[in-house]
Amino acid sequence: MAGLTSSDLRDLLSFTTALARKAGAVILEGSRAIQSASASDIGEKKNSVDLVTEYDVKVEELVKREIKDAYPEFQFIGEESYSAGSRAPLTDAPTFCVDPIDGTTNFVHAFPFACISIGLIDQRRPVLGVIYNPFLDHLYTGVSGQGSFLSRSGGPPERLPLGGPARPLPALSQALVAIEWGSDRKAPAITQKADSFTRLAGDPAGGVAGGRMAHSLRSLGSAALNFAMVAQGGLDMYWEIGCWPWDVCAGIVIAQEAGGFVTGSKDAPHDGNVTEAILTGRKYLVVRGIAGSEGETSLAAQQRIAREFYDTVEDVPLDG
């Protein structure tokens, strides 16, 4: 089956953008309701830090319904449908990959970094992404081969990365790195993550063995918004083990179209090609566009930083 054309993708972008804004309105309404209701409305999935609310489900139902009406032949993968047992394997067909609320913990705590993330996969590769944070009215979009953009407060789309061509990044020690604790808090995962964070931030001259003393570490609490912030240029890189394709699908396209480099685990081929294995592998590293220099292309600079990164952190096991 032939893939989607550039013109199909342009139409799909208008549809997906309008849908994300509609979903954003429900997320805002949900936030107001949650802040005035009792904590008992908040459910737990895998454990007490893996949260779900009726709004995660409500937003996913809305998005799924509208997609079904507009594109009945497309496949659908969604976080809440997956949790409810809908786990069809990925095929070559166009497939929406949706997280109705990414950053549910932030949503519950009224920390204004939560979003709807709508990705589209075609021929098993992410080809379109829309991420909308309704709290800040930040809309990120990306289409394969057509660039990525940020529209703030309904303003005109600004090409990513903001501020023009990519800047250099000489070493990990000069990076602002996003990391996340994730929801697996059992040893050894939590210990290996904490040890990795210590080496990323720690001072080797001050006794931290293997320390890189990166500029600092950040957690936005949403994988999608971490990807978007790397695309924007506000973060130099983001690493997470344990999140899911719906958390990252849209962000992958937005980051790649901004010149970002996306790869999987330490052992994945680090060629910037996001294969099905990387998309579904639940281990992700994204590095922003880096200016090339004489003797080093932009891709080679990103691969160098990725290697330095993976020499620093541990390959934390997945918890299933």
Chain residues in the site for ligand IPD (CB under 6 A): 79, 99, 102-105, 180, 182, 221-223, 240, 242-243, 247
Using CA atoms, how far apart are residues 196 and 312, in angstroms rounded to an integer?
7
Type of residue at 153? S
Using CA atoms, how far apart are residues 74 and 262, in angstroms rounded to an integer?
25
- 94 contact, one of Ca ion, ligand IPD, none, CB 5-8 Å limit per kind: none
Taking the complex as a whole, how short is the minimal distance between the CB of residue 243 and ligand IPD, in angstroms?
4
Decide if residue 180 touches Ca ion (CB under 5 A). Answer: no
Considering beta carbons, is residue 114 or 150 the nearer one to Ca ion?
114
First vs last Cα of the chain: how many Å apart? Answer: 33
The 10 Å CB-count burial string (b at 16+, else e) for 134-152 is bbeebbbbbbbebebbbbe
* 171 contact partners, CB below 8 Å, separation of at least 6: 212, 305, 308
Taking the complex as a whole, how short is the minimal distance between the CB of residue 256 and ligand IPD, in angstroms?
19
Taking the complex as a whole, how short is the minimal distance between the CB of residue 103 and Ca ion, in angstroms?
7
Decide if residue 80 touches Ca ion (CB under 5 A). Answer: no
Per the rule left: phi > 0, alpha: psi between -120 and 50, beta: everything else, 123 is left
Taking the complex as a whole, how short is the minimal distance between the CB of residue 202 and ligand IPD, in angstroms?
22
Taking the complex as a whole, how short is the minimal distance between the CB of residue 233 and Ca ion, in angstroms?
25
| Binding residues among 90-129 for Ca ion as defined by CB under 5 A | 99, 101
Considering beta carbons, is residue 105 or 303 the nearer one to ligand IPD?
105
Taking the complex as a whole, how short is the minimal distance between the CB of residue 220 and ligand IPD, in angstroms?
7
Decide if residue 257 touches Ca ion (CB under 5 A). Answer: no
SS3 content of the chain, % helix, strand, coil (to 5): 40, 20, 40
Cis peptide, bond prior to residue 89, ω within 30 of zero: no
Considering beta carbons, is residue 79 or 257 the nearer one to Ca ion?
79
- 221 contact, one of ligand IPD, Ca ion, none, CB 5-8 Å limit per kind: ligand IPD
- 122 contact, one of Ca ion, ligand IPD, none, CB 5-8 Å limit per kind: none
Instruction: Give the residue among 16, 28, 24 at the shortest CA–CA distance from 74.
Output: 16
